[in-house]
Amino acid sequence: MSILFSEKTKTFHLYNEKISYIMTVLPNGHMGQLYFGRRVHHKEDFSYLLERVSHPMTACVFDDDDSFSLEHTRQEYGVYGTTDFRHPAVEILQENGSRLSNFVYTGHEMMAGKPKLPGLPATYTEQPEEAETLVVRLKDELTGIVLELFYTIFAEGGILTRSVRYTNEGNESVQITRAMSLCLDLPDHEYEWLQFSGAWARERHMKVRRLESGIQAVDSIRGNSSHEQNPFIVLKRPTADEEQGEVIGFSLIYSGNFLAQAQVDAFDTTRVLLGIHPFGFSWKLEARASFQTPEAVMVYSHEGLGDMSRTFHRLYQRRLARGYWRDRERTILNNNWEATYFDFTEDRLVEIAKKAKDCGVELFVLDDGWFGARRNDQAGLGDWIANKKLLPEGIAGLSEKIEALGMGFGLWFEPEMTNPDSDLYRTHPDWILETPGRHASLGRHQHALDFSRPEVVDSIYKMMAKILSEAKISYIKWDMNRSITECYSRVLPADRQGEVFHRYILGVYELYERLTSEFPQVLFESCASGGGRFDPGLLYYAPQGWASDDSDAVERLKIQHGTSFCYPISSIGSHVSVSPNHQVYRETPLHTRANVAYFGTFGYELDLNKLTEAEQEQVKEQICFMKKYRKLLQFGSFYRLSSPFDGDGNVSAWMTVSEDRREAVLGWYRILSHANRPCSRLRLSGLDETLCYCITEDGQEREGVYYGDELMNVGLVTTEGAAKEVALGEKGGCDFDSRIFVLKAEG
Mean pLDDT of 573-594: 97
**Phi and psi angles of residue 394, each rounded to the nearest 5 degrees, phi first:** 70, -170
- Residue 240 makes CB contacts below 8 A (sequence gap 6+) with 192, 246, 247, 304, 305
The verdict on whether 549 is a catalytic residue reads yes
224: confidence class by pLDDT, cuts 50, 70, 90: very high
pLDDT by residue (tens digit) across 338-367? Answer: 999 999 999 999 999 999 999 999 999 999
Assess whether 479 carries a catalytic annotation. Answer: yes
**Residue 421, pLDDT above cutoff 90:** yes
pLDDT of residue 677: 81
Alpha-carbon Rg for the chain, nearest whole angstrom, is 27
Max CA separation in the chain (angstroms): 89
In angstroms, the first-to-last Cα distance of the chain is: 41
729 has a pLDDT exceeding 90: no
For the cut 90, the answer to whether the pLDDT of residue 510 exceeds it is yes
3-319 is a CATH 2.130.10.10 domain = no
Average pLDDT over residues 405-434: 98
Residues forming CATH 2.70.98.60 domain(s) in the chain: 3-319
pLDDT at res. 64: 77
Catalytic residue among 479, 535, 550, 607: 479
Q: Could you give the 3-state DSSP secondary structure of residue 435?
A: coil
- Cite the residue boundaries of each domain of the chain with CATH code 3.20.20.70: 333-634
pLDDT in tens, 372-394: 999 999 999 999 999 999 999 99
Distances (CA, A) of 348 to 317, 352, 393, 474, 609: 37, 6, 15, 21, 11
Percent of all residues in the chain with a pLDDT value above 90, rounded to a whole number: 94
337 neighbors 606 (Cβ within 8 angstroms) = no
CA distances from residue 531 to 197, 201, 220, 584, 603 in whole angstroms, order as listed: 11, 8, 14, 17, 17
- Count the neighbouring beta carbons within 10 Å of the beta carbon of residue 323: 18
For 443, 455, 478, 501, the CA distances from 483, given in Å and listed in that order, are 8, 22, 15, 11
CA gap 449, 639 in Å, rounded? 41
- Residues carrying CATH 2.60.40.1180, the chain: 642-745
**Looking at domain 642-745, which of 2.130.10.30, 2.60.40.1180, 3.90.1150.10, 3.30.1490.110 is its CATH number?**
2.60.40.1180
CA angle 541, 327, 241 (to 5 degrees): 90
Which CA distances in Å does 96 have to 84, 171, 530, 574?
Answer: 22, 13, 46, 54
Number of Cβ within a 10 Å radius of residue 647: 9
Question: Using CA atoms, how far apart are residues 661 and 672, in angstroms rounded to an integer?
Answer: 32
How high is the pLDDT of residue 722?
Answer: 53
> Residue 1 — very low, low, confident or very high, per pLDDT cuts 50/70/90?
low
The answer to whether residues 475 and 424 touch, using CB atoms and an 8 Å cutoff, is no
> pTM for the whole thing?
0.97
Task: Identify the active-site residue in 185, 421, 549, 552.
Answer: 549
For 676-728, write each residue's pLDDT tens digit.
888 899 999 999 999 999 999 999 999 999 999 999 999 999 987 654 555 55
pLDDT of residue 731: 58
> What's the rounded Cα separation, in Å, for the pair 387 and 610?
26
Q: What is the CATH number of domain 333-634?
A: 3.20.20.70
Helices (H), 267-414: 304-319, 337-340, 346-359, 394-404
pLDDT tens-digit readout, 454-481: 999 999 999 999 999 999 999 999 999 9
Burial grade of 258 (CB within 10 A; 0-12, 13-18, 19 or more) = buried
Strands 572-573 and 544-546: parallel
